[in-house]
Amino acid sequence: MRCVAVIPARLASTRLPRKPLREIAGRSMIARVYEAVAASQLLAETIVATDAREVVEHCENLGIPVRMTSPDHRSGTDRVHEVAGVVQADVYINVQGDEPLVRAGHLDALIGLMQRTEAEVGTLKIVCAAADLANPNVVKVVCDSASRALYFSRSPIPFDRDSTGQARYFKHLGLYAYRKQALELFCSWPESGLERVERLEQLRFLENGVAVHVAETCFDTIGVDTEEDLRRVEQILLKSS
């Protein structure tokens, strides 16, 4: 099974300008993400997909495979879809360019899910820390007995109505694996209602009847959206080096 990872990297972030090129512990964010993803032995290829010539030049200087994509894409998934039109694979992995704590183990878990099942779409979850339950920036997921997502939400789900303390909460990690047909379907559909309300694009699959299979990992990540996130991740990387 040929698996290709695509790392969407948009330069014009509103909350953290020039995000892919920001330095974290001596390396640019995009370089750190690429190196971590490419470390997976299960990948045939890893490609950065961007809308900025400056990111292209930065990647080329570092020997990182990169493709220029349309500036009109609304999401990273659309950028992955464009790359899928010219790069052949059985499965495409979408790793956002603002996940510098991603590791090969995440990719291996996701690819393993796609290898052992007929899932059209796969993603990851991890046990959610109590401190993150009420944080709307931490997306939660609930699954059925076959590890298919029932719902994703920024709210703490499920709701423990009787305060039993027995509810299990899982954080969704925003890495995805798609077979090409699912990727093409996603990009052909309009934005869905729940997707618009929660601002979670994966709900488009659920609203259109496509199951999202979820594998569990023990490795957490922190998406970098703000200056505070960047400094927090930098401290983690410095301590682990």
pLDDT digits (tens, 9 = 90+) for 58-107: 999 999 999 999 999 988 999 999 999 999 999 999 999 999 999 999 99
| Residue 165 burial class via C-beta count within 10 angstroms: exposed 0-12, middle 13-18, buried 19 and up | exposed
Question: What integer is the mean pLDDT of 121-145?
Answer: 96
Structure letter (DSSP) for residue 11: S
Q: What stretch of H or E contains 25?
A: none
pLDDT at residue 151 in the model: 98
Taking 90 as the threshold, does the pLDDT of residue 11 lie above it? no
Token pair recorded at residue 23: 């330095």
Q: What is the pLDDT of residues 222-237, one digit of tens each?
A: 989 889 999 999 999 9
Question: How far is it, in rounded angstroms, from Cα 167 to Cα 37?
Answer: 33
| CB atoms closer than 10 angstroms to residue 78 | 18
Which residue would you say has higher pLDDT here, 12 or 65? 65
In the numeric block, the tokens 């047909």 are attached to 181
State how far the alpha carbon of 222 is from the alpha carbons of 62, 97, 109, 164, in Å: 24, 12, 18, 29
**CATH match for 3-240 among 3.40.710.10, 3.90.550.10, 3.40.50.1970, 3.30.300.130:** 3.90.550.10
4, 43 contact by CB (below 8 A): yes
Buried b (16+ CB within 10 A) or exposed e, 124-153: bbbebeeeeeeeeebbbbbbeeebebebbb
pLDDT digits (tens, 9 = 90+) for 144-169: 999 999 999 999 999 999 999 999 99
Which H or E run contains 16?
A: none
Q: What is the mean pLDDT of the chain?
A: 95
Give the predicted TM-score (pTM) of the model. Answer: 0.94
The pLDDT of residue 4 is above 80: yes
Rounded to whole angstroms, how far apart are CA atoms 10 and 80?
Answer: 12
Residue with tokens 């109590």: 130
Q: What is the Cα–Cα distance from 201 to 154, expressed in whole angstroms?
A: 12
Q: Which of 92, 112, 104, 101 is nearest to 181 (CA)?
A: 92
**pLDDT confidence of residue 13:** 78
